[in-house]
Structure 1
Amino acid sequence: MLSWITAALGGPAQSPSEPPPGTRATGIAENDGSGAVALGDRTVAAGAGGAAIQGNVYGNVAITNVPRAEPDAERDLRVAYLSRVREQCGTLSLAGIDPAAASQRDAESRLRLDAVYTALLTRTPRERAEERDSEVQHRRPDHDEPPLSALEQLDRHPKLVLQGDPGSGKSTFVNFVALCLAGEALGDERTNLRHLTAPLPDGDRDEDQTSQSWSHGALLPVPVVLRDFAATGLPRDGVATAHHLWAFIEATLKAACQAECVDWLRHELRERGGLLLLDGLDEVPEAERRRKQVKQAVEDFVKSFGKCRVLVTSRTYAYQNQGWRLRGFSEAALASFSDGQIRRFVANWYAHAVDSGRLKQEDAAGRAELLKQAIFNRPALYELAQRPLLLTLMASLHAWHGGSLPNKREALYAETADLLLNRWEQRLIQREADGRIQLIQPSLAEYLKVERTQVRGVLESLAFEAHRAQPELTGTADIAEDALAGHLLRLSANPDVNPRLLVDYLRDRAGVLYPRGVGVYTFPHRSFQEYLAACYLTDDDYPDKMADLARADPDRWREVALLAGAKAARGSASTLWLLVEALCWREPDDSVAAIAEVWGAQIAAQAIVETADLSRLSPANQTKLARVRRWLVKLLRDERLPATERALAGDNLAVLGDPRFDAEHWHLPAEPLFGFIEIPAGPFLMGSDRRHDAEADDDECPQHEVNLPGYYLTRWPVTVAQFAAFVEESGFQSKDPDCLKGVANHPVVWVSWHDALAYCRWLNEELRKHARERLVAEKPLSESECRFWQGLAEGSLGINLPSEAEWEKGARGTDGRIYPWGNDPNPNRANYDETGLNGTSAVGCFPGGVSPYECEDLSGNVWEWTRSLWGEDLDKPTFAYSYDSSDGREDLQAPDNVRRVLRGGAFLGDAGLARCAARFHFNPDGRSGVIGFRVVVSPLVFSDR
């Protein structure tokens, strides 16, 4: 048979192999007599005794790329449905975003999504299969290996929840995916899979050269806005099912005059699958019943349409903290814009300005370059530009004002709100053929016969009332048309105002408010709602009312308070400190603080970090700042706060000055022993008890007893500030300057084993000198302090990297527990992947993870270098887990091809890697964004000196 097909094709037979991707086997052609056999939709049959086959031959199978034959009626339904998806998802309204669009109508105020879309990255590092050390090769997002893109995450996971902050691009991604899938199926040359998988922006160049991966072809897209589903599609009571979600999709199609598509779409999704795009999981009513119903409907729909891939979007904070998690779904979080993404967006934006006729080519190129320079040369602007929404506002303002940009978030909102209000102030005019100008509609202020500031006051009041009454804590509030018109009518000084005409005016001219539906308005984005509410509160019993609201309900009012403080400070810097005082007026003590006081201190710290000029403080404000610092230290230890909030408190401390550290003594902990904790001599259980530790791997061994002399281990890993003090005083030059770019009170990373050892040698000499001073000082020392300082002064104790046995005993104590706190993983007690921080955290913000000896951060955060050797073999260690300090494993002079042991896990590792018994290894000259170290004082001094 094979030779017969070969002869028919006139070429050598191919050996059997897998058909190429994207092709489909259609059968085998054979004819022993007269007649013909034709395969494929457009094959041509040969004459008697022969055969004609369309496509390529692989083994004994004929392959064709021709699509499956589809009846005309079915094809028409597909085209009609996809055309509507393409139209629905293919444009973005500029109203509320682009200042220039505030004066334009409908089609003019929209832009092609494909014209400005910039591919989004997630926070998940790209894995390199060829690297055995993938766990520690956490590369910088803007270097050789960028993180996975949102599309690549969608390609990998059949059920994915994509999380992101407000304005991070979640909804835009949903629309772009739907647009390109629909365009591919329709044969659109502009929006298709090639556009969807375009190479990612690169940090140093305009783009990488590798296309994003997408292996699922032109899936049938089904976009659904979950807020709309929750509003109209859920049952009044009881359980929500797949039926309710499908009924909503069906009703949407019927409302668009596509009732005939309903049965076809359901059959397609059941039999062939598709991509269900569910946008805004958290943007539903806050009541527990409604949330539960939405989850029920989504999870049941997934089971009913098992061939469909599913993407769900949600705000990160809502999904992590409000019980939203969906069973069986993978998770990914959108990253901030990288340098390459910022550059590409700016270029796309100004290219769109040329295409729309708003700028000439030569002007657009120059302005784009000026905006890039402004962003990358001004740290405040650069920070804002990493959020897609704010970058869009910046680009709009830059184009609108010819290069003038505010560098504060509050100022950006202020200018944008003013520009949007211009729509309400502009007259609608028409130029006649003879040149005369005809007034079609006066400005709103003219119509009401009031000042423009009065109109703005109405909007601020409405924003405050809507924000206060909004059931959900995300998204924008609905403002009833009656309430909006009623406020304006009461304001009006024009007795001839017609309420019906006023409603028509609002519907036609909405700028800072736009219609969400019949009789309902909303703000373009929650940020504007929060900003206008902040404006209202700066004029209404400020700062006390603002502080009371924020302390009582921080999830609702925190952002408003931050914007209110920044707005007030533009008038007078002292007003910010009035808000700080109102938020945080009492000194912390040893008692358990009321939760309102905790939130007051947290928000006060954020307000200072975002707005205050710390270089110019009066004595009174310095007192307030010191109080906030002390509160932040207390917040780090308050486990009522989620890990994200404690981490934020730690980051704010780094900016405001962390009083836990002694700046005069190399930023070591401000404790009698500089943070060294005594670990008493004696035995402990090392290794894994596999009867209780399900995560134990083959490199580990059963628990065995190891006896160690007494030593001292540091409470926390070495911080960026401590390593910077070493570099400054010693003149040491690390091969990776990025080790000094981290947050001051975070663990230092991007340091090699040799860098860590150099720090130990330097600190050993400095503390030996300091020990002599301590021993002769007038201040009395405890017995423990005397032993510590005497040992350092005489050289019987020395500073080194810990052996892995010293590290493990300090982490787990003597009872063989699995984690420093016990035997069960807990993401609130350590910074690993499930914690969701996606980066290092300030040392000391996981008090529940303290070891039996009160050492912290031993699980998660960063892998830590030890002085112990692993061996040269990546798969099997030369030095087994069964510990023997005399077998040469502590040799500091071993060559660099012998790897060193790492302990502790890291923020991107799972709970199994955060166990006390987990081991890893790395080249001693290597560096990574997840590797740091801590030090030990022990009788084992340097063997190479």
Structure 2
Amino acid sequence: MNNAESPPPKGRRSRSGAALQGSGAIAQGNDAVALGKDARYVGRDNYQITLQQAAQPGASADELRQGYLAWLSMQANRLPLFVSDSGKPVQLASVYTALLTAGRDESRLHPATASSVRKTATGEPGEPERQSALEALDREQHLVLMGGPGSGKTTFLNFVALCLAGEILRSPGANLKLLRRPIPPEGDAPSDQPKAQRWTRGALLPVRVVLRDLAASLPPPGTPTNADTVWSFIVGQLPAQLRRYADALQAELLGRGGLILLDGLDEVPDARQRREQVKAAVQEFAAIHGKCRFLVTSRTYAYQRQDWKLDGFAERELLPFTRGQVERFIDGWYAHMAHDLYRISEAQAAAGAAMLKRATERPELRELAARPLLLTLMARLQTRGGGALPESREELYRQSVAMLLDEWEGLKLQRDASGQPIGVEQPSLNEWLNASRENIRRELDKLAYEAHLQQPTLVGTADIRQSDLIAALLAASRDRREVSPLLLEDHLRDRTGLLTAHGEGLYQFPHRSFQEYLAACHLARFKFPDELSRLARADPNRWREVALLSAAGFRNAPGSIWELVDALCTRSADPAANAPEADSGSQWGALLAGQVLHETGLAAADPDLQERHEIKRLRVRDWQLRLLRSSTLPARERVLAGDLLAALGETRQHLLDVDRMRFVAVPRGPFWMGDEVVHNAPLHRNETLSYDYWIAEAPVTVAQFAQFVAVSGYQGHAPETLNDPMNRPVVSVTWHDARRFCDWLSERWRAALPAGWSVGLPSEAEWEKAARGGVLIPPAAQRTTIDAGFTIAASSLQDNPEPQRAWPWGDEWDADKANAEDSIGETSTPACFSAGRSPYGCEDLAGNVWEWTRSLWGTDWQKPDFVYPYDARDRRREDLDAPDAIWRVVRGGSWGYLRGVARCGVRFRGLPGGRDGGFGFRVVLRSSPVR
């Protein structure tokens, strides 16, 4: 060290958290570098650059520049929130995963909508506008990058600084190549080589400023601020050894430009005009440094306030992780575990990564894994637990909360560059407050419950006032009179973990789910089950997750779970078909009771279950059947009721047993075929269906196809064909699978079928007439089964009020009548959309699953060979022996396609040997030839 310069005051640490006094070296990670006593850069990849110690008199501007970049790399490569249990810091360069932002107009959309792949009216995939965070920075000279807590804003900023500095330092591991690494592809993405992200600006000189620290260094309120304010802070944060580099740094920024990285605008206090002072200084600094590019990070909620906005700065918002990004992070994490932190074997790392990938595909963890912060918590928890995440969601939260509480209230340690503790900065909260950890946790549970109860919105986490947090902690203290609230405020300010500062005087839990879990713990301890059930029935959107987490906490005490089920579902459903619809609270209570049983493993029949609890289980089961046709519950909840019914024991035998399958009558006569808005299917009157036929009321279900497989010994199906709940339509079936099912059913029913009749796939004409109705239709649907026979009742037909209807119910689209447009995101059991039945009584002819027909499309998937007008007498278009290279017609749309292709007249196509998660089928009965 240059003895002419004073060392930092004793006890004061640099903002990097590493000691900068005296000699020695600071090196972190594979490619971290630091200035050492022997005038070398130290890197664990043996990367070394020799130069004279920058702090020595006479060091050149280039040597000082190299020292500055090494110091910046050391800062940027650390993840201070995530020191591993080995005591070594987790390295950013090893685990960083490239981020995506919403496009210019897309940020107004819900993230789930913005990131979904849609299907166009022609059935071809359409990708919404998305842009990597790096490409947004490349495009915009002045950019504000927004995102929620834990979305990766600061991580991105630090990674850019690290890679730019590494490129100038010629680091083999942190450079422009790493910076431009492609966005991880999705599992179903094309197999083309992914392209590197666009970055055309070269190795800009990075300068990093933490705006919270800048605000803390500002002159008294009311004092004007300007560009000099920012520059003085930049110089002041340099280590004493590098202060002489300041003039050369400023000259380069003004002459050649650079990248100014301003982190955490939302963390600048509103009070005492600090925000206005920072804004004024930043705006002038940007104006003077016209050759520089600027990146500012801020939480979305804060920057959307007009008084926060910076003039002339573009805006982008970070999107949640895609599945590809989740898997890329997991691979990087375990590679880092193997190579750097724990020295575990490659096999152990691969096994741990595979296990974590499977865990994050679980529905209850999928949303959490889409947030980088929470995915990192899962990885840490799994690493700490020896490789396995808890099986239950409640246990995952319990362990995560314990880990986060450790970090929030435990000792704050000073650590050296390698992550090893070198002293105590603050005692633990329970020691400082003289409060037991149990009392602190109990008060935090209560605080979370009250915040959740009073939160104005149903999304995000509640703001917790600092005064309320301090009051809760004082309540936990045994010596509360001796604890100074002002000192406690200072004690809490920089702590991270279970609660983090969210602006001036506000705190938040890291995710709404943690808030819900803590609220659940409070209710389970003090207000279970009566108050919990009352809240859940009255306001299910707010309290559903709380109720489920609270119930899960009693997994080892099932008697308490049955108490909650009884409180949620207090009476039996009215079995009468024409019974009036129950009140909203009863419906929601029954649905949540079913969820409680399903998530706690108590839904299935159990011969050892006490009779009084079996009565409750059957009561909940019977309610689910009623809920399928509810006009109160949204469609998504009706679909959930269908899945719960499958778990509790489906009672509709016509969906489980092929011999109970229901058919509806379609009398002979003309109908309108085609659609005015479909170019390959012009509307025309079809006179060729001069016979009666019967078509299945619903698509073939998983249970029915499984029965076929079990009885016939058929092995041509795919394993995933039987994975869905048994009462849903079977999917991932080829045209040949469907044909074999029909052949088997014809033989099974041979003795009961009318002479000359058989089971087959419908033609597209038969399918469309069933969906739209004929010119004349019966006054009511006629249903039958194989046992009841197939004689169409004699009744007078009446005019079809909408013979050219667009959808089975009419000409106006109604999202409550069809499972389409990805509104549900998966298939659903029949009857969830019963209001969308066709004039003959068919379920789900619009949406849910595409349905195979026996009709041919042609050899060109873009243009049909078999055109309209349709003539049923043309046997070529129904040739069952046509080669597999000829496409077959499918009808009806599916859950993942737009409403336009769910129209009655839309023709689509599929290769006979192809499988698709949205392709199923229903059968038809008529006189041969139908096979």
Fold conserved between structures, TM > 0.5: yes
1:550 shift after superposition? 1.1
Give the aligned residue type for 1:906: S
Q: Does 1:200 align with 2:184?
A: yes
- CA–CA distance in structure 2, aligned partners of residues 259 and 380 of structure 1: 44
Q: Match of 2:507, SS?
A: strand
Aligned pairs for 1:154-553 (under 5 A) are: 172=151, 190=174, 195-198=179-182, 200=184, 210-212=193-195, 254-255=278-279, 257-261=281-285, 263=287, 311-312=316-317, 337=323, 344-353=328-337, 359-361=341-343, 363=344, 365=346, 367-372=348-353, 374-375=355-356, 384=365, 387-388=368-369, 391-403=375-387, 405-423=389-407, 426-427=410-411, 441-494=426-479, 495-553=481-539
- CA–CA distance in structure 2, aligned partners of residues 450 and 276 of structure 1: 40
* 1:682/1:278 CA distance change after superposition, 3 Å: farther
Other-structure match for 2:43:
none
Aligned pairs for 1:99-138 (under 5 A) are: 100=85, 112=92, 115-117=95-97, 135=123
Cα deviation 1:820-839 (Å, max 9, x = unaligned)? 11112233322222x43333
Give the aligned residue type for 1:555: N
- CA–CA distance in structure 2, aligned partners of residues 608 and 265 of structure 1: 62
Other-structure match for 2:668:
681
**Identity within the alignment, %:** 38
* 1:155/1:798 CA distance change after superposition, 3 Å: farther
- CA–CA distance in structure 2, aligned partners of residues 914 and 360 of structure 1: 54
Q: Does 1:591 align with 2:580?
A: yes
Q: Match of 1:521, SS?
A: strand
Confirm or deny: 8 A CA contact 1:804 1:866 kept in the other structure: yes
Confirm or deny: 8 A CA contact 2:655 2:704 kept in the other structure: no
- CA–CA distance in structure 1, aligned partners of residues 503 and 378 of structure 2: 29
Other-structure match for 1:602:
591
1:663 shift after superposition? 7.6
Confirm or deny: 8 A CA contact 2:819 2:847 kept in the other structure: yes
Q: Match of 1:568, SS?
A: coil
Other-structure match for 2:848:
861
Other-structure match for 2:834:
847
Other-structure match for 1:163:
none
What TM-score, normalized to structure 2? 0.68
- CA–CA distance in structure 2, aligned partners of residues 98 and 458 of structure 1: 27
* 1:379/1:465 CA distance change after superposition, 3 Å: closer
Confirm or deny: 8 A CA contact 2:656 2:727 kept in the other structure: no
Confirm or deny: 8 A CA contact 1:99 1:420 kept in the other structure: no
Confirm or deny: 8 A CA contact 1:859 1:914 kept in the other structure: yes
- CA–CA distance in structure 1, aligned partners of residues 297 and 728 of structure 2: 38
Confirm or deny: 8 A CA contact 1:800 1:942 kept in the other structure: yes
Other-structure match for 2:614:
622
Give the aligned residue type for 1:372: A
Q: Does 1:710 align with 2:692?
A: yes
Aligned pairs for 1:52-63 (under 5 A) are: none
* 1:536/1:344 CA distance change after superposition, 3 Å: same
Other-structure match for 2:758:
798
- CA–CA distance in structure 1, aligned partners of residues 643 and 201 of structure 2: 44
Confirm or deny: 8 A CA contact 1:430 1:439 kept in the other structure: yes
* 1:135/1:425 CA distance change after superposition, 3 Å: closer
Give the aligned residue type for 2:395: A
Aligned pairs for 1:643-682 (under 5 A) are: 643-662=635-654, 665-666=657-658, 674-682=661-669
Confirm or deny: 8 A CA contact 1:183 1:192 kept in the other structure: no
Q: Match of 1:457, SS?
A: helix
- CA–CA distance in structure 2, aligned partners of residues 560 and 743 of structure 1: 26
- CA–CA distance in structure 2, aligned partners of residues 507 and 910 of structure 1: 50
Confirm or deny: 8 A CA contact 2:134 2:199 kept in the other structure: no
Other-structure match for 2:906:
918
- CA–CA distance in structure 2, aligned partners of residues 181 and 134 of structure 1: 41
Q: Does 1:633 align with 2:633?
A: no
Confirm or deny: 8 A CA contact 2:442 2:522 kept in the other structure: yes
Other-structure match for 2:859:
872
Give the aligned residue type for 1:477: A
Other-structure match for 2:219:
none
* 1:391/1:767 CA distance change after superposition, 3 Å: farther
Give the aligned residue type for 2:487: L
Give the aligned residue type for 1:879: F
Q: Match of 1:878, SS?
A: coil
Equivalent in 763, 787, 800 of residue 745 of structure 2: 763
Give the aligned residue type for 1:258: V
- CA–CA distance in structure 1, aligned partners of residues 276 and 413 of structure 2: 37
Cα deviation 1:214-273 (Å, max 9, x = unaligned)? 56966999xxxxxxxxxxxxxxxxxxxxxxx9x99x96893494232455899999xxxx
1:378 shift after superposition? 7.6
Equivalent in 889, 892, 915 of residue 880 of structure 2: 892
Q: Match of 1:259, SS?
A: helix
* 1:510/1:384 CA distance change after superposition, 3 Å: closer
Equivalent in 709, 712, 721 of residue 730 of structure 1: 712
* 1:255/1:192 CA distance change after superposition, 3 Å: farther
* 1:472/1:445 CA distance change after superposition, 3 Å: same
Other-structure match for 2:543:
557
- CA–CA distance in structure 1, aligned partners of residues 290 and 593 of structure 2: 53
- CA–CA distance in structure 2, aligned partners of residues 92 and 528 of structure 1: 26
Q: Does 1:580 align with 2:565?
A: yes
Q: Match of 1:172, SS?
A: coil
- CA–CA distance in structure 2, aligned partners of residues 507 and 153 of structure 1: 30
1:715 shift after superposition? 1.8
1:699 shift after superposition? 3.9
- CA–CA distance in structure 1, aligned partners of residues 873 and 472 of structure 2: 84
Confirm or deny: 8 A CA contact 2:706 2:722 kept in the other structure: yes
Confirm or deny: 8 A CA contact 2:808 2:845 kept in the other structure: yes
1:879 shift after superposition? 2.6
What TM-score, normalized to structure 1? 0.67
Size of the aligned set, in residue pairs, is: 731
